Structure 1
Amino acid sequence: MLGIIVILIALALLIYLAYRGISLLILTPALATFAVVASLEGRVLASYTQIFMGSTADFIALYFPVFLLGAVFGKLMEDSGSAEALANGIIAKLGTARAILAVVMSCAVMTYGGVSLFVVAFAVYPIAAALFRQADIPKKLIPASIALGAFTFTMTALPGTPAIQNAIPMPYFGTSPFAAPGLGVITALVMFTLGMLWLQHRARKMAHEGYGDHEDKDFVPDKDLRERSACEGFDLMELPAEEKSKDKPSFAIAALPLVLVIAVNLLFTFILIPRMDTAYLAQPLYGDTSIEKVRGIWSVIAALVISLVLLIALNWKRLPSLKQTLDNGANASLLPIFNTASLVGFGSVIASLGAFLLIRDGVVGIGGENPLISLAIGVNILAGMTGSASGGMSIALATLGDTYLQMAQTYGINPELLHRVTAVATGGLDTLPHNGAVITLLAITGLTHKQAYFDLAITAMLIPFISLIVLITLGTLFGSF
């Protein structure tokens, strides 16, 4: 009983102190050490060097290329003016009459193509504000519209997305970025449809309010906001460093790198890598692994590298400070991956404690003979507690990934279904008010939680949770497809 209380206290302190702005790089080892000492298990130094640092290092070794390439890709899209050109193009095609749809789709296209949600929010908001003002739609719906397009179905449900939420489950379950594609598409359609219905309903209900009396100013992140948001996949301190290109590319040129990300990802996953001779991976020199463990990561790396080269080639003259842009993007990847990796290390130390066995048995037993239910609940709760989709998922898989894979094999569940449920489950409670992306989005739009959080929570928390129920139901009845 003492051990369980200690674990709960450590998690509670992690939530509170992280929200107060204390770095996870300090919090996670400190609280992991507290848990070891307070539980009277006493292996402090070994728990730190062998378990915490070992798990942290393993996560960085595996996922650093994805964080690095994703951050650089997003920075290039922003500084070249491609992100703004895409948003302008989509919004211009859909027009003022479909302002909400235009904002949602512009965000969705970019995030599905691999652009950081922060870059998307910065690029889309000024255009969305002008569009909503012209259409006289309440400004308080802008955060919910951006969140629907950038925080939900393109990050967790659509197959092939290079988002880190779709990449993390791959080595644990031996899957690819296109795991359970049919179920992923159906889940994405549910999120998109319900989200649009809600936003349109709210726009009609609040039509008498109009856009509102708002002064739309340029957003400059303060120190506190930068610290809170860094764990969400991009370092805000890098965003305003370089002036965007005034010579914007055409819509086609801006969109081509995004299309290439998905196309190359698909090509490597199902055609090129399966034809390679990868038997050498079983050698100790290469980690004594198999192609199933690394295929997904290889595909994402290849897709992002090739798309980066094309993006630079197409926008060479629009990137006079290319070295600075690359440096900023690379630097922006460091804090997010170290924060997420340190959460994995914290989770591994917690999992090593004797009391965790009781918690594990309680969690995995929630769904009875259907491990999909307990997996979804566990990931959702951890994502909400840490305020991070990737962090919550990483802790859940680091502590229980092997257990769920064994249960899936016992009950005949395809690992691809585990992958998709895990990814979608991260997109629910992670959108609680303390989430870094939520705080940042509201700051960018100049709105408060009181003004805009209700609709944002409906589109980015409640509706994804409903979609998760649909996914689990279909997966249970028909299996993975």
Structure 2
Amino acid sequence: MLSMIGLVGGLALLIYLTMKGMNLLVAGPLCALFVAIFSGLPLFPQLVGEGEANLVGNYMTGFSGFIASWYLMFLLGAIFGKVMEDSGAADSVSKWIVEKLGMKRAVLAIVIACAVLTYGGVSLFVVAFSVYPMAVSLFRQANLPRRFIPAALAFGSVTFTMTSAGSPEIQNWIPIEYLSTSPYAGWEVSLIVAVFMMVFGYWWLRRMITKAVASGEKFVSRDNDPVNKDKALPHPLTGLIPLLVVLIISFIFHDSLQQSALIIALLGGVITAYLLNRNYFKSFWDAVSEGTLGALIALGNTAAVVGFGGVAKAVPAFEIAVNAMTSIPGSPLIGGAIAVSVIAGMTGSASGGQAIALPLIAPHYIDMGVNPEALHRVVAISSGALDSLPHNGYVVTTIRGICGESHKEAYNPVAALTVIVPLIGLAIAIILFSFGLGI
């Protein structure tokens, strides 16, 4: 009983401290200590026998293990995003999409700009920073309530692109290590689900905005609003080509190198972006340095959460919880989806949720004969649902840091599009796989 109180209380404390703004590198081990004390877990390796569970050993094993597995992917992904940003290539692609769709489809233009950049491998945070100035300009011209800008940015970045088949985002690549699949696993179902999420989510976003406008809401300018600069931008084609290079290289090498193909793909994207747009850089090496620092912060924050999971999964209550989730009657995919969704939601991280859940549930379901491709796609989609609760790093950064909104004003539309829509998409995926589609 005490162990369960410690587990639930530790997770609740992690969410609370994160929403209060505490650094995850501090909050992670602090909440792990809470879990360990309530469960009677020894604190130091010196107090137990070799290989036995303890707070420091389990925390650092989870922390360092995640870094060892994903450092180069985070590093090259962040550098690629900053290179695309510094050269103006990301802005060029976004601006071209906006110009082609026009003012009447301002919201759709923002969503598609985010989707193209995300599916091309640009970091989610870089996409938000890059598209935000254009979003402000379009919302101002269309006189739309600015509190919906975070929802538009998030919808285009972390829903139908982040977890879809072929996406170079790590949420689609982590399952490969545990299931020996490919980034294109379950692509038939993934395509159907992605189209549903895109169409239904956009309809819902437009409906929310229309209702707000009808009730008298309008755009309110701020003194610190970004102003579109007259900086010369590269041709949109030289911005699209590096995105295509990432996708093509990852496709060519995914069978032979599995998740390591992403290293070559992102490196190829960086080199291509430099060669095509080298005359437009403010400073290429400064962009590399900024990308490196960004990667270390993102990687450290995620590893801090995975380290917390390393302690959580060592206590008796965690095994009870996982057994309960994986013993749910019906399709085994339901249990897997719930386990990943709940853990991703508790940790506020899709990648962290997968890294904690998959080592535990993958062998269990594979032994049961569950199709690995179906499990891969269900895990990917489910990780991108409850992870977007208020304490999620991307949600906090986009709403507060980038858009300058409050959770009270902006989070409900974000939750509708990044939690509810993916959950419906997840249900559709499970139903389609249950009928044998894509298997």
Task: Please indicate, yes or no, whether the TM-score normalized by the shorter chain is above 0.5.
Answer: yes
Aligned partner of 1:447 in structure 2 is 405
Equivalent-residue separation in structure 2 for 1:119 and 1:19 (angstroms): 22
Are 1:424 and 2:409 matched, yes or no? no
Q: What is the SS of the residue equivalent to 2:264?
A: helix
Equivalent-residue separation in structure 2 for 1:102 and 1:94 (angstroms): 6
Candidates 366, 370, 382, aligned match of 1:408: 366
Are 1:315 and 2:277 matched, yes or no? yes
Are 1:28 and 2:36 matched, yes or no? no
Are 1:376 and 2:322 matched, yes or no? no
Are 1:143 and 2:100 matched, yes or no? no
CA RMSD in angstroms comes to: 2.3
Q: Aligned letter for 2:153?
A: I
Q: How far apart are residue 207 of structure 1 and its match? A: 4.2
Aligned partner of 1:474 in structure 2 is 432
Aligned partner of 1:205 in structure 2 is 211
- For 1:84-95, list aligned pairs within 5 A: 84-95=91-102
Deviates more, 1:175-184 or 1:15-24: 15-24
> 1:201-244: CA deviations, max 9, x gaps?
23443444677241145469xxxxxxxxxxxxxxxxxxxxxxx9
Unaligned runs of 5+ in 2: 47-53
Are 1:194 and 2:151 matched, yes or no? no
Deviates more, 1:198-207 or 1:320-329: 198-207
Aligned partner of 1:227 in structure 2 is none
Aligned partner of 1:64 in structure 2 is 71
Aligned partner of 1:264 in structure 2 is 249
> Is contact 1:81–1:245 with CA below 8 Å preserved after alignment?
no
> Is contact 1:383–1:392 with CA below 8 Å preserved after alignment?
yes
Equivalent-residue separation in structure 1 for 2:6 and 2:211 (angstroms): 48
Deviates more, 1:210-219 or 1:469-478: 210-219
Aligned partner of 1:230 in structure 2 is none
Deviates more, 1:3-12 or 1:39-48: 39-48
Q: What is the SS of the residue equivalent to 1:434?
A: coil
Aligned partner of 1:117 in structure 2 is 124
Candidates 217, 232, 239, aligned match of 1:254: 239
| Paired positions, count | 430
Q: How far apart are residue 104 of structure 1 and its match? A: 0.8
Q: Aligned letter for 2:365?
A: M
Q: What is the SS of the residue equivalent to 1:474?
A: helix
Equivalent-residue separation in structure 1 for 2:29 and 2:109 (angstroms): 44
Q: How far apart are residue 376 of structure 1 and its match? A: 1.4
Percentage of matched positions with identical amino acids:
41
Q: How far apart are residue 97 of structure 1 and its match? A: 1.5
Q: What is the SS of the residue equivalent to 1:161?
A: coil
Aligned partner of 2:171 in structure 1 is 165
Q: How far apart are residue 466 of structure 1 and its match? A: 0.6
> 1:420-456: CA deviations, max 9, x gaps?
1111112222222232322222232333333332222
- For 1:278-293, list aligned pairs within 5 A: none
Equivalent-residue separation in structure 1 for 2:332 and 2:278 (angstroms): 50
> 1:334-357: CA deviations, max 9, x gaps?
122122123222212222223433
Equivalent-residue separation in structure 2 for 1:213 and 1:201 (angstroms): 17
- For 1:295-374, list aligned pairs within 5 A: 295-366=257-328, 368-374=329-335
Are 1:126 and 2:139 matched, yes or no? no
Q: What is the SS of the residue equivalent to 1:155?
A: coil
Q: What is the SS of the residue equivalent to 1:159?
A: coil
Q: Aligned letter for 2:416?
A: I
Q: What is the SS of the residue equivalent to 2:234?
A: coil
Equivalent-residue separation in structure 2 for 1:3 and 1:439 (angstroms): 30
Q: How far apart are residue 12 of structure 1 and its match? A: 2.1
Are 1:79 and 2:86 matched, yes or no? yes
> 1:144-195: CA deviations, max 9, x gaps?
2222111211111x21111121122221222222121111111111110101
Cα–Cα, structure 1 residues 438 and 57, in superposed 2: closer, same or farther, change >3 Å?
closer
Instruction: Tell me the TM-score normalized by structure 2.
Output: 0.91
> Is contact 1:129–1:139 with CA below 8 Å preserved after alignment?
yes
Q: How far apart are residue 49 of structure 1 and its match? A: 5.0
Equivalent-residue separation in structure 1 for 2:36 and 2:416 (angstroms): 39
Q: Aligned letter for 2:218?
A: G
Equivalent-residue separation in structure 2 for 1:196 and 1:11 (angstroms): 32
Q: Aligned letter for 1:387?
A: G
Unaligned runs of 5+ in 1: 221-243, 274-294
Candidates 177, 181, 184, aligned match of 2:183: 177
Q: How far apart are residue 315 of structure 1 and its match? A: 1.5
Q: How far apart are residue 331 of structure 1 and its match? A: 1.4
> Is contact 1:33–1:44 with CA below 8 Å preserved after alignment?
no
> 1:365-415: CA deviations, max 9, x gaps?
12x252211221222222222222222332222xxx3434332331x3211
Q: Aligned letter for 1:340?
A: T
> 1:5-56: CA deviations, max 9, x gaps?
2222222222222322333223333433443343224363262454322232
Candidates 370, 393, 398, aligned match of 1:436: 393
Q: Aligned letter for 1:391?
A: G
